Amino acid sequence: MEKALVFSLGDQEFSVQISAVKEIKEWAKATPFPAAPPFVEGVVNVRGAVIPLVDMAQMMGVSEETREKKAIIFLKNESKIIGFSVTNVTDISDVDEAEFKSLPELSSDNLKYFSNGIQSLGERMIFSVNVSSLFEGSLQ
């Protein structure tokens, strides 16, 4: 069983493997980056490193009733680090790969591409995010 960081995008909950999390910071406005895709908010300076900041909800096609962002999750994949703005960081939970279920056919293509599946934690339904796909989608 592995640990996962659970966070929200609007009213929906998502998780990423804790091993992919570099750090979590309070949300801060990014410096706009010319000619970036619409889901890229810009770049942020973290201890001298310039890191892209991506609006995860917009990139994944998740509708948010409120666009308020309270946190940035910095994820690492190989040698790359990208910041993803989220509504809130909820908790750290145990994840059992066997508990993931396939997404229903009515899911958007974006959500299917970026997700490992969905799991139930008590009354909560949590979408598991595929970090490798997230990085591939962010860098296009």
pLDDT tens figures, 1-60: 789 999 999 888 999 999 999 999 999 899 998 989 989 999 999 999 999 999 988 888
Residues 6+ apart with CB under 8 A from 36: 42, 52
Please report the pLDDT score of residue 61 as a whole number.
78
Q: Measuring CA to CA, which residue among 39, 79, 50, 59 is closest to residue 133?
A: 59
pLDDT-based confidence at residue 106 (cuts at 50, 70, 90): low
Q: Give the predicted TM-score (pTM) of the model.
A: 0.88
Give the tokens for residue 127: 């979408």
Phi, psi of 105 (to 5 degrees): -60, -25
Please report the pLDDT score of residue 22 as a whole number.
95
C-alpha 27/C-alpha 100 separation (Å) is: 30
Give the tokens for residue 60: 């994944």
Please report the pLDDT score of residue 102 as a whole number.
80
Distance of CA 119 to the CA centre of its chain: 16
Q: Which amino acid is at 125?
A: M
Model confidence over 48-92: pLDDT tens digits?
Answer: 999 999 998 888 877 766 668 899 999 999 889 999 999 999 999
Please report the pLDDT score of residue 62 as a whole number.
78
Distance of CA 12 to the CA centre of its chain: 12
HSE (side-chain half, CA atoms, 13 Å) at 87? 20
Give the tokens for residue 90: 């909820």
